[in-house]
């Protein structure tokens, strides 16, 4: 199975919609905007590429892009003149209004092939306030055959006005065994595939990222931060928190990992180690494993509550602080 096939599992509605768009005749053709939401490593870009391929592929006899026609080859080589990608520059805090204006201007030029024109804005939650407003005008009056795709890790950080004018789709995590099969099909050793799929939280892209040592080390650091905080004094907890904050992790990602760790700890208490994700890892923290089931349930609760706070735009640092100091 290819990475694309894995990522598009469970995205039936979205794919059906793009199928419909691709098959509309010229005078029926539509424009519009879509939001794809999912954490880092969930495959948003892969899915966006697949959907664009469906729209632009010249071979309409297939349900998936043919991969061989001029449009598909241009997409593959990232030189398709009707597709524009905008993302956050590494050294900047926001996507600026100027960048959005250039994008809108590019979209307003007529298509090179009379087909669709597509803009993808990656990390759309980083659009500046002015940039969002500039984009909004385009979303309010979409041109025919113009599609705007917004990719985001956090829907809560997009302006409501943009959300209300777009169709939103959330990527769903896969069952760990599907991620495992995917990794094995990509040539990973079975033992490695087992570890990675357990750590991936159901996201094939994250599993691949974790296979690169640095990403795995980061992931384990977050796991470790939680375990080390148990029975730690206030000062130690402060040090642990500061290290996490200095690494620029997204709080939402940290909470997803912690949720799994606290679930593991509960399973440990219930003696169901076969369901744990971090079995080998927990063994290294034997001295921290002196807690009650009630405590483990409280941790779960406070993490879920933390996620709610994030969704309500509470400061990321405060949310993490509140959890770490109350473990």
* Residue 55 vs 86, nearer CB to Zn ion: 55
Mapped onto helix, strand or coil, the DSSP state of residue 58 is coil
* Residue 56 vs 103, nearer CB to Zn ion: 56
Site for Zn ion in 22-61 (CB under 5 A): 57, 59
Tell me the two tokens of residue 320. 């993490």
Q: Least distance from C-beta 98 to Zn ion, angstroms?
A: 34
* Residue 118 vs 222, nearer CB to Zn ion: 118
Site for Zn ion in 77-106 (CB under 5 A): none
Within the chain, where are the H helices?
3-8, 12-23, 44-56, 70-76, 97-108, 129-140, 160-164, 176-185, 190-199, 204-211, 213-229, 234-246, 251-269, 279-283, 293-311, 316-324
Query: From residue 303, how far is each of 15, 21, 222, 249, 282 by CA, in Å?
Result: 33, 41, 14, 16, 19
Q: Least distance from C-beta 204 to Zn ion, angstroms?
A: 24
Q: Least distance from C-beta 123 to Zn ion, angstroms?
A: 28
Q: Least distance from C-beta 57 to Zn ion, angstroms?
A: 3
Question: If binding is defined by CB under 5 A, does position 66 make contact with Zn ion?
Answer: yes
Tell me whether residue 119 is exposed, middle or buried, using C-beta atoms within 10 angstroms of its C-beta: 0 to 12, 13 to 18, 19 or more: buried
* Residue 8 vs 223, nearer CB to Zn ion: 8
* Residue 52 vs 72, nearer CB to Zn ion: 72
Tell me the two tokens of residue 156. 């809560």
* 121: enclosing H helix or E strand: strand 117-121
Tell me which stretch binds Zn ion (CB under 5 A): 65-73, 82-90, 273-281, 288-296. 65-73
Q: Least distance from C-beta 317 to Zn ion, angstroms?
A: 47
Q: Least distance from C-beta 96 to Zn ion, angstroms?
A: 34
The rounded distance, in Å, linking the Cα atoms of 123 and 125 is 5
Contact (Cβ atoms closer than 8 angstroms) between residue 139 and residue 162: yes
**Residue from 21, 52, 72, 86 in contact with Zn ion (CB under 5 A):** 72
Contact (Cβ atoms closer than 8 angstroms) between residue 104 and residue 95: no
* Residue 67 vs 280, nearer CB to Zn ion: 67
Q: Which residues are near Zn ion by CB under 5 A?
A: 57, 59, 65-66, 69, 72
């Amino acid at each position: 199975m290819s990475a694309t096939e894995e990522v598009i599992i469970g995205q039936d509605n979205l794919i059906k919609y793009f199928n419909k768009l691709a098959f509309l005749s010229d005078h029926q053709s539509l424009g519009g905007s879509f939001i794809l939401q999912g954490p880092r490593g969930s495959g948003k870009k892969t899915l966006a590429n697949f959907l664009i391929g469906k729209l632009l592929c010249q071979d309409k006899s297939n349900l998936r892009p043919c991969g061989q026609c001029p449009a598909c080859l241009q997409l593959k080589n990232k030189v398709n003149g009707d597709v524009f990608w905008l993302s956050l520059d590494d050294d900047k805090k926001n996507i600026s209004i100027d960048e959005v204006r250039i994008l809108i201007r590019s979209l307003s030029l007529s298509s090179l092939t009379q087909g669709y024109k597509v803009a993808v804005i990656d990390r759309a939650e980083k659009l500046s306030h002015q940039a969002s407003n500039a984009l909004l005008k385009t979303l309010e009056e979409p041109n025919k055959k113009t599609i705007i795709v917004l990719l985001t890790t956090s829907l809560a950080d997009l302006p409501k006005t943009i959300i209300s004018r777009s169709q939103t789709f959330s990527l769903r995590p896969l069952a760990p065994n599907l991620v495992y099969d995917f990794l094995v099909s990509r040539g990973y050793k079975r033992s490695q595939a087992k570890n990675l799929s357990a750590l991936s939280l159901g996201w094939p892209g994250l599993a691949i990222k974790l296979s690169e040592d640095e990403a795995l080390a980061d992931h384990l650091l977050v796991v470790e931060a939680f375990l080390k905080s148990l029975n730690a004094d206030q000062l130690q907890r402060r040090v642990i928190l500061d290290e996490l904050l200095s690494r620029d992790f997204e709080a939402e990602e940290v909470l997803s990992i912690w949720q799994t760790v606290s679930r593991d700890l509960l399973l440990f208490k219930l003696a169901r180690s076969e369901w744990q994700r971090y079995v080998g890892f927990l063994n290294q923290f034997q001295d921290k494993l002196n807690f009650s089931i009630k405590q483990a349930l409280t941790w779960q609760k406070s993490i879920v509550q933390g996620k709610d706070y994030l969704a309500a735009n509470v400061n990321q640092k405060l949310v993490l602080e509140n959890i770490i100091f109350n473990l």
